[in-house]
Amino acid sequence: MKIKSFIPFVLLLTIGMVSITGCQKGDLIDNPNVASNNSLVPVSLLLNTLTSNLIRTSELPWGTSSVGSQFDIANYSYYRGTNNYNYGSTTDSYDIFKYAIKLQQQSTLQLSNQTNKYYALSLFFKAYSGIWLAQRVGDIPFSQAGNATNLTPKYDTQHDVYASALSMLDNANTLLGNLITKTPTLANTVLDSSGDIFGLTYLQWQKIINTYRLRVLISLSKRAVDNADLQIPQQFVTIMGNPTQYPIMTSNSDNLVYKFNATNRYPTFSLGYNPYNNFSNIGSTYLNITTATQDPRTFVVATPAPASVAGGKAVSDFTAYVGSDINQTQPTLLNNSNNGLYSFANYNRYYVSSTGASAEPFVFIGYSEMCFNIAEAINRGWITGNSATWYTNGINASLANYGLTNGEVLTISFPVTSTNTALNPSLIVQGGTWGTATVNITQFLANVAYAGDNATGLTQILTQKYVSMFNNSGWEAFYNFRRTGVPTFGQGGAGIGTPNNLIPRRWEYPSSESASNTANYQAALQSQFGSTTDDPTKDTWLTK
């Protein structure tokens, strides 16, 4: 894809940059205050740019990915946007790719080798950027992308992108592992305290890379048999069979967590949602699962539907929690919500702290998901092991992210400000105490006991992975649904908003492609879909 920002490469490393919108004389191309491709750029600054931009706005809690995963359903578009799946042209990840290449170049130039920690991380970011876009659209420019002299790079097949990315991840792990082997104290040393916003150690970065690689491998489950050259199950075996060479996460302390603060505020504040809690409901796809299994996460994520409580149900009654159906049009959703038929998000958890201090951490790549991925690999016969243990570990890790303990008494707050006394006979102030519920983890775990390495067990693994990703992990819950069909997402109704009211199978290519790289773009469409129509209803190689 044409990466216009490559020319010139500008990092805003300026001493006193003059605005190009003002009247000035001189050659702007040779502006001495702008970093050129031959300039020395601090590698910590490049790493900071990469880690700061790794997670997109749509991937944050309560964003587009939350709606697309049917965790959060808007009932009023003015404040919370729509629920439809007409995503159209995707954004791209070539900014990550661009800075990863620059980190490679600068770390090689400044450290005189390609075995340093920055070069290792540049491989991770290159792999991540390629997979990020390929899993959205299909074939993409990758091997020729980033060359400033080639503005019409060829498209690599999705297969080749994944093959290259998996190799990069393997090499990144090896480079960091070699550094730790040479100097063991590096394992628990922060890799770059000024450049890495996550503040991870060398060993934690190695764990992130390998845990992410397990995610990528399990995402290829539909291609594990008919693409033997990728060695998908075998790579899983290699990682799991050698924890010294391929360390993976061992607890929630290894999670890649995106932290919010006074400047980078929690999304219900930064996206302007506060205090409009009453214009969004918890989705039925999620709540139908948690209420049926008596999952205590129900009590911390949601509040009871007001009409259920007004009808005599206790706030500790799981049947009092009712999810919103994404199939319905927004006027219908708003009417039903105004009548108290749906559960809202927990106001005291998500709407009282601009730093997200009362909310669960936003885990982007985490231990809980990894446990479920390993359980799935065992269930599918890729590796040997105790899938029930990994499955239970995944559930317990998710419960721990919510701070839940067995026997704990939770305060249930009133969901929204209301003057409808028929629905709210005791309180009209949003966030006021409504009652209590006791956490019963023992009963919940008994309700979801693993059924064994069979189809039922696989469905349990995928279902609990979905629940653990509530407002976490970006688009992963959506991608897992697209790959497996688990859990069953709501679709077919007018609320989906697509021409056939079905959830699309992919995004369309960035709109600049048809104009900037026309021949390669059309050739990629033809080879994948048998026409030059950029059709979001078609599956790519990854999910066919």
Ordered structural domains, the chain, with CATH: 4-56+91-248 (1.25.40.390), 267-493 (1.20.120.840)
Grouping H, G, I as helix, E, B as strand and the rest as coil, residue 362 is strand
Q: Report residue 457 as tokens.
A: 């067990």
Specify which residues 201 forms β-bridges with: 190
Cα–Cα distance measured from residue 387 to residue 72, given in angstroms and rounded to the nearest whole number? 30
Distance CA 117, CA 470 (A): 33
8 A C-beta contact, residue 197 and residue 238: no
Report the pLDDT value the prediction gives residue 429, as an integer from 0 to 100.
Answer: 60
Query: 218 and 206 in contact (C-beta within 8 Å)?
Result: no
Q: What is the DSSP code (8-state) at residue 433?
A: E
3 state SS for 219-280: HCHHHCCCCHHHCHHHHHHHHHHCCCCCCCCCCHHHCEEECCCCCCCCHHHHCCCCCCHHHE
Where residue 208 falls (left for φ over 0; alpha for ψ -120 to 50; beta otherwise) is alpha
Average pLDDT of adjacent 10-residue blocks, the chain of 544 residues: 38 33 37 59 97 96 96 94 94 96 97 98 98 98 92 96 98 98 98 97 98 98 97 98 98 97 92 84 98 98 93 96 98 93 94 94 98 98 98 98 97 71 51 91 98 98 98 97 98 97 97 89 97 97 97
The two structure tokens encoding residue 147: 């060359």
- Please tell me the distance from the alpha carbon of residue 256 to that of residue 419, in angstroms, as a whole number: 42
Q: What is the pLDDT of residue 463?
A: 98
Q: What is the pTM of this model?
A: 0.92
- Residue 532 CA to residue 512 CA, distance in Å, equals 15
pLDDT at site 2 = 43
Centroid of chain to Cα 420: 38
The angle subtended at Cα 242 by Cα 236 and Cα 244, nearest 5°, is: 135
Q: What are the CA-CA distances from residue 384 to residues 333, 444, 449 (Å)? A: 47, 27, 20
Q: What angle do CA 443, 444, 447 make, to 5 degrees?
A: 90
Query: What does the alpha-carbon distance between residue 355 and residue 350 come to, in Å, rounded to a whole number?
Result: 10
Give the DSSP letter string of 84-130: -----B----HHHHHHHHHHHHHHHHHHSSS-SHHHHHHHHHHHHHH
DSSP state of 28: G
pLDDT given at position 6? 35
Instruction: Say what the pLDDT of residue 28 is.
Output: 37
Contact criterion met (CB below 8 Å) for 79 and 273: yes
C-alpha to C-alpha distance for 167 and 432, rounded to whole angstroms: 53
Instruction: Tell me the CB-side half-sphere exposure of residue 226, using CA atoms within 13 A.
Output: 7
Helix (H, G, I), strand (E, B) or coil at 369: helix
d(CA 481, CA 483): 5
Look at the alpha carbons of 213, 214, 218, 224 in this order and tell me if their dihedral is positive or negative.
Answer: positive
301: which 2 tokens? 């994520």
Q: How many C-beta atoms lie closer than 10 Å to residue 434's C-beta? A: 18
Residue 159 CB neighbours (<10 A): 17
Q: Which residues pair with 281 in a beta bridge?
A: 73, 344
> Do residues 255 and 249 lie in contact, with contact meaning Cβ atoms separated by under 8 Å?
yes
Entry field: residues in the chain? 544
The DSSP line for 418-432 is ---TTT-SS--STT-
What CA dihedral angle connects 372, 58, 166 and 234, to 10 degrees? 20
